[in-house]
Amino acid sequence: MASGVQVADQVKDVYKEMKVVKSDADQKERLRLVIFEINGRYIDVEEGKIFREKDLENVDDVFKFFLSHLDPKQCRYMLYDCHFETKESSRKEELVFVMWAPDTAAIKDKMNYASSKDSLKKALTGIKHELQMNDLSDYGDRDNFAEKMGKGVIKVEGHPVKPTGR
């Protein structure tokens, strides 16, 4: 079921900026977290919810910062540039698309976000990781989140994770 909600051009522009990291660009201007909302008939960037590397300079734990933006009463989409390390290679950076639909949100909002998700996903081609979170217990701890990122992840945002039985 499609909701008829369209993806705003700003969303597509933000995604392109996050997806293509230019080596000669100022790394402090790099986008790390963007929160989207359904605003009327459009999925758009939520006002004031674009976080660049420079905005996170004084943040001790970017993963916890990401989690802190999961409002327990409001659905949101998020695009998170997650930095992690694996046993096999050094540091990796991959985009994670999150649909946050908490159990405590209004049913109408949850239905609207669920039915609009495909429209947004079509605009965000090439996303490697997609999470649907309804509760912080889903991926709200670093270990569960690391497992979703792939095999052999030993650190998320510079903080160690417990190895799984893989």
pTM above 0.75, yes or no: yes
Domain ranges of the chain: 6-160
State the Cα–Cα distance between residues 110 and 154, nearest whole angstrom. 33
pLDDT at 3: 67
- DSSP secondary structure string for all residues of 11-67: HHHHHHHHH---TTS-GGG-EEEEEEEEETTEEEEEEEEEEEGGGGTT-S-HHHHHH
Q: Are 8 and 45 in contact (CB under 8 A)?
A: yes
| Model pLDDT for residues 78-104, shown as the tens digit of each residue | 999 999 999 887 789 999 999 999 999
The CATH classification number of 6-160 equals 3.40.20.10
Q: Classify residue 27 as left (phi > 0), alpha (psi -120 to 50) or beta.
A: alpha
Q: Would you say residue 138 has pLDDT above 80? A: no
Q: Would you say residue 40 has pLDDT above 90? A: no
